[in-house]
Structure 1
Amino acid sequence: MSIRGRLSGLFSVVFKGRDEFDLTSGGIGKPLFYLSLPIVITNLLQTAYNLADTFWLGQYSTEALAAISFAFPMVFLLISLGIGLSTAGSILVAQNTGAGDDEAAEYAASQTVTFSLLVSVALGVVGYFGVGPLLAVLGASADVLPLATEYMQVISLGLPFMFGFFIFISLMRGYGDTVTPMLVMFGTVVFNIVLDPFLIFGWGPFPALGVEGAAVATVVSRGLAMVVGMAIMFAGTRGVEIHLADMRPDPVYLGKIVKLGVPASIEGTGRAVSVNALLLIVGLFPTTVVAAFGIGIRVFSVIFMPAIAVARGVETMAGQNIGAGEEDRAAATSRFAAKTMFVVLGAAGVVTWVFAPAVVGVFTPDPEVVEVGATFLRYVAPSFAFIGVMRSYTGGFRGAGKTLTAAVIAVGMLGVVRLPVAWFASQDVGLGLGSSGIWLSFLVSNVLGAILAYAWYQRGTWRGADVARGPKETYTATDDD
């Protein structure tokens, strides 16, 4: 057998298409694994965009590294403000696919694309003109502010391209196809990693753009991914299909998307705002602490990928099972995911605690940043298992259409617990632990968030969703918990 044939055989064993497993019957572990594994890889590849920027700019200068420590949470904030619409589309596609209503699923997907792109354009304009003042309020120093602003303005202009690909991922996931987005992401990540140093350092014929070059490379790569993703959905050969005729803005249907999407946006925005708000506290400390915070957040984004991916898998499986009238199977999916993630991320926490200095050292040669960053990782590592539990149950809530419940849990964990603890523990008026007080807030909030999500899910308020039928009557589940 040829090498190509062997690789193709290996791929078919590791990755399964939607037509090779049933999300609404049979065992739970195997379909959840095949659904979530490509999401893990897709999210890792997605994070590679930011990691590549972090690595190359870390070699460029400490000021550049600090600049993207401020910029990355801002990127997350802009995306989170509109990403709830694509989450709503994913839920509607999943529930109607489970109910066997392909026409309704395709209409949901088409309308989601339209409204999400319109929102991304508006957010991009606001972001371009508003990031500079906001970064200044967040405490970016005089030498960091211009660099962070340059990065964010380029990202803001490219926001529709970034949104376009996120929409593609969400809608395909709702249908049950997570392999296709993974393959598209792989090609564009490789392109971004190769392009980054050329634009940052000015290799070959390219000018040395520094921080701005990293942003340009990211936008160009995401734009390529969007074009490919949209072409796949219009073709309809894989995953959910979209139709130009269904993309005319439907104000009535917009209300249905908003009903699900606004709480999902609040959840994502709450997470982004909490990171940005933490920068107000982190910014009170030296640049080494700011840089270490940025590296730590990037490392967490990689380690938590399995939990986030499984949560998205739970969201899809729960949505399709609720659409099919299998509520008990939806509940079993959340429980199985929570137990599995507790074990997997618990093991990851042990490894991270042991090798913390080496992990931080990958991103910077500065010994002070390595020391502070290692301390950050060792404070948070014991709580990794609890992140898995919380994400699994909030994924179940979203799949049932209870996006408001998931938002309340996330905002409560971050706004009510993490931020106050970070301020009180780090400042002299409180415990006076310095930067360690900020790291402690992550540990406390992660544990309490898991307990809250578990207890709330056991109440069963997510049960009883009604799946409507028809292209313009697809909305399901209220958020009146």
Structure 2
Amino acid sequence: MFSCLRRGPAFYKNVVLLALPILLQNLCTTLLGLMDTFMVGALGEAPLAAVLVANTPVFVIQLVIFGLQSGSSVLISQFWGKGDTDSINRVIGLGCYVAGAISLAFAGIMFFLPVPLMGLLTDNQELVPLAASYARIVGFSYILNSLTGVYVGAHRSMENPKLGMIIFAISMVTNTFLNWVLIFGNLGAPALGVEGAALATLLSRVVEFVIMLTYALTNRRFKLRAGPLFRPGSALIQKFIRYSGPVVLNETLWGLGNSMYKVVMGHMEGSTEILAARALAGNIEDLCTVAIFAISGTTAIIIGREIGAGRREQVYEMGGALNLLAMGCGLVIGLPLIAGAWFLFPSLLYPFFHLSAVSGGITTMMLTFTGAILPLRAFNTVNTVGVLRGGGDVRAATIIDLLPLWLVALPLAALFGLVLKWGIFWVYVGVIMESTSKFFFGVPRFRSRVWINDVTQFTHEKEASQ
């Protein structure tokens, strides 16, 4: 079972060199969210809960962007292995079209209909106006962020993950500084509170977009070409729909499903305390999973590159090694997380976020569940996002990712929280059933080896047109 781990030092050195910049990029993004939580939390539990509610549609946008990155990676990593930069330009162009259109639609809804939208997400009338004031500003930031994300994701698939690390590190520092200025009214600026946090996010996204655009126009390693970028062609569109479409749909539906957990919490008794706890627990959870997502991103790059270069015989063993590596990483992180939740965070961390005793207890419970299930979650993430998608098996990855969420975990969480009213503990019992059931679907699919596919073989239509 563990023989696949004997890959030699060159393999693991390559994994570290690819994963470390991705990890640092994810860490920057996560720390940005944690700093937002810390600064908004200083305003009280209600503003903290309101920002969590307002960020629910933003979370969906982010997952659509991640879906575009992952779906594009299926193609780009294999095109990169073949040295086909024109096709990479076409994939980037399509990704920008889709990301721009979806984020623009979300921004329009959040700007013109913020109160009705927030009213759907929570029935707590204290939170709705605060959430609406944040949402109508922050929505526009993700138009720019979506375009930046597609381009950065393409470079990650071309073994250049440092670009995203640099851009998002600058964005994190900018956002943190502007939060300090605009939320609390420092340096002579007005104290805008929740609206200041939204404006800081918008301005930091402008900065990251400008940096990305400057790099894109001056970079020599990979040059943007207007022809294939703006006219991707029917053959590539078919490939994009076939291999990237299911991934975008996957991440969108997965994001909607996970957002429904927050909707369940937002309609429970004591929703202010529950949502405030979820805001902090969610950020800590994100911080604990940056290494796992770095491994999954690296896995997709390696699997796609090896298949694209024609080295199919090594792919299965590599996938097994990376799956087990992720599971071990989840165990190493999960156990200290549980210990911290019980013995360190209540006295050292929760007071900084002004959590009440009730919210603190809920946060500890949430983090305990997170730490306990982290090894299985790590395996599932790398197996579906890295191995199966990297191998072009996007339909099976989508089914494995969505069915446990929509047919098992979410119905149980809604039943326990809204129908039976058993409380937030039982809601989380429902939540962890997603990772448990997903594991038993994912293992047989990996062992079948049918996920190893070369997705860069074009149709006869393109061959005839050349």
Cα distance in 2 for partners of 1:276, 1:386 equals 21
Partner of 2:402: 411
Amino acid paired to 1:326? R
Q: TM-score, normalised by structure 1?
A: 0.86
Which of 378, 386, 390 is equivalent to 1:399? 390
Seen in structure 2, the aligned counterparts of structure 1 residues 26 and 55 have a Cα distance that, compared at 3 Å, is: closer
Cα distance in 2 for partners of 1:392, 1:79 equals 19
2:462 is the alignment partner of 1:445: no
Seen in structure 2, the aligned counterparts of structure 1 residues 276 and 103 have a Cα distance that, compared at 3 Å, is: closer
Say which structure is richer in helix: 2
Residue pair 1:110, 1:242 contacting (<8 A) in 2 also: no
Tell me by how many angstroms 1:198 deviates. Answer: 1.1
Amino acid paired to 1:448? S
Partner of 2:337: 352
Residue pair 1:199, 1:214 contacting (<8 A) in 2 also: yes
Tell me by how many angstroms 1:404 deviates. Answer: 2.4
Partner of 2:413: 422
Q: Tell me the alpha carbon deviations over residues 167-191 of structure 1, each in whole angstroms, 9 at most, x when there is no partner.
A: 1221111101111221222122111
Partner of 2:12: 29
Seen in structure 2, the aligned counterparts of structure 1 residues 58 and 210 have a Cα distance that, compared at 3 Å, is: same
User: After alignment, is 141-150 or 228-237 more displaced?
Assistant: 228-237
- Matched position secondary structure for 1:237: coil
2:322 is the alignment partner of 1:337: yes
Partner of 1:193: 176
Cα distance in 1 for partners of 2:247, 2:110 equals 20
Tell me by how many angstroms 1:26 deviates. Answer: 8.7
Q: TM-score, normalised by structure 2?
A: 0.89
Seen in structure 2, the aligned counterparts of structure 1 residues 115 and 81 have a Cα distance that, compared at 3 Å, is: closer
What are the within-5 Å matches in structure 2 for residues 99-248 of structure 1?
Answer: 99-238=82-221, 240-248=222-230
Q: Tell me the alpha carbon deviations over residues 89-124 of structure 1, each in whole angstroms, 9 at most, x when there is no partner.
A: 332221111123233333433443344334433342
Q: Tell me the alpha carbon deviations over residues 376-412 of structure 1, each in whole angstroms, 9 at most, x when there is no partner.
A: 1112311101111101111111112222222222212
User: After alignment, is 364-373 or 50-59 more displaced?
Assistant: 364-373
Residue pair 2:86, 2:225 contacting (<8 A) in 1 also: no
Cα distance in 2 for partners of 1:67, 1:333 equals 44
Q: Tell me the alpha carbon deviations over residues 243-291 of structure 1, each in whole angstroms, 9 at most, x when there is no partner.
A: 2333324462434323323211222122221222112321213011121
Seen in structure 2, the aligned counterparts of structure 1 residues 314 and 373 have a Cα distance that, compared at 3 Å, is: same
Structure 1: which 5+ runs fail to align?
Answer: 1-23, 475-481
What are the within-5 Å matches in structure 2 for residues 293-312 of structure 1?
Answer: 293-312=278-297
Q: Tell me the alpha carbon deviations over residues 340-373 of structure 1, each in whole angstroms, 9 at most, x when there is no partner.
A: 1211211211111111154351533422211111
Which of 62, 65, 70 is equivalent to 2:53? 70
Cα distance in 2 for partners of 1:379, 1:115 equals 36
- Matched position secondary structure for 1:28: helix
2:437 is the alignment partner of 1:454: no
Residue pair 1:168, 1:230 contacting (<8 A) in 2 also: no
Partner of 1:435: 424
Tell me by how many angstroms 1:40 deviates. Answer: 1.0
Seen in structure 2, the aligned counterparts of structure 1 residues 254 and 428 have a Cα distance that, compared at 3 Å, is: closer
Cα distance in 2 for partners of 1:380, 1:107 equals 39
Seen in structure 2, the aligned counterparts of structure 1 residues 55 and 466 have a Cα distance that, compared at 3 Å, is: closer
Partner of 2:4: none
- Matched position secondary structure for 1:42: helix
Tell me by how many angstroms 1:67 deviates. Answer: 0.5
Amino acid paired to 1:310? I
Residue pair 1:63, 1:144 contacting (<8 A) in 2 also: yes
Which of 285, 291, 296 is equivalent to 2:269? 285
TM-align CA RMSD: 2.5
Cα distance in 2 for partners of 1:223, 1:126 equals 20
2:352 is the alignment partner of 1:368: no
Q: Tell me the alpha carbon deviations over residues 70-102 of structure 1, each in whole angstroms, 9 at most, x when there is no partner.
A: 122221112334553343333222111112323
Residue pair 1:263, 1:407 contacting (<8 A) in 2 also: yes
Seen in structure 2, the aligned counterparts of structure 1 residues 219 and 249 have a Cα distance that, compared at 3 Å, is: farther
Seen in structure 2, the aligned counterparts of structure 1 residues 412 and 363 have a Cα distance that, compared at 3 Å, is: farther
Which of 53, 58, 79 is equivalent to 2:36? 53
Tell me by how many angstroms 1:32 deviates. Answer: 1.5
Cα distance in 2 for partners of 1:184, 1:428 equals 45
Q: Tell me the alpha carbon deviations over residues 195-214 of structure 1, each in whole angstroms, 9 at most, x when there is no partner.
A: 10211112222122211111
Which of 40, 62, 65 is equivalent to 1:79? 62
Residue pair 1:114, 1:248 contacting (<8 A) in 2 also: no
Amino acid paired to 1:244? A
Residue pair 1:95, 1:323 contacting (<8 A) in 2 also: yes
Residue pair 1:155, 1:219 contacting (<8 A) in 2 also: yes
Cα distance in 2 for partners of 1:407, 1:231 equals 35
Seen in structure 2, the aligned counterparts of structure 1 residues 72 and 115 have a Cα distance that, compared at 3 Å, is: closer
Seen in structure 2, the aligned counterparts of structure 1 residues 428 and 259 have a Cα distance that, compared at 3 Å, is: closer
Which of 227, 240, 246 is equivalent to 1:257? 240
Cα distance in 2 for partners of 1:36, 1:379 equals 26
Percentage of matched positions with identical amino acids:
21
Residue pair 2:89, 2:224 contacting (<8 A) in 1 also: yes
Structure 2: which 5+ runs fail to align?
Answer: 1-6
User: After alignment, is 254-263 or 70-79 more displaced?
Assistant: 254-263
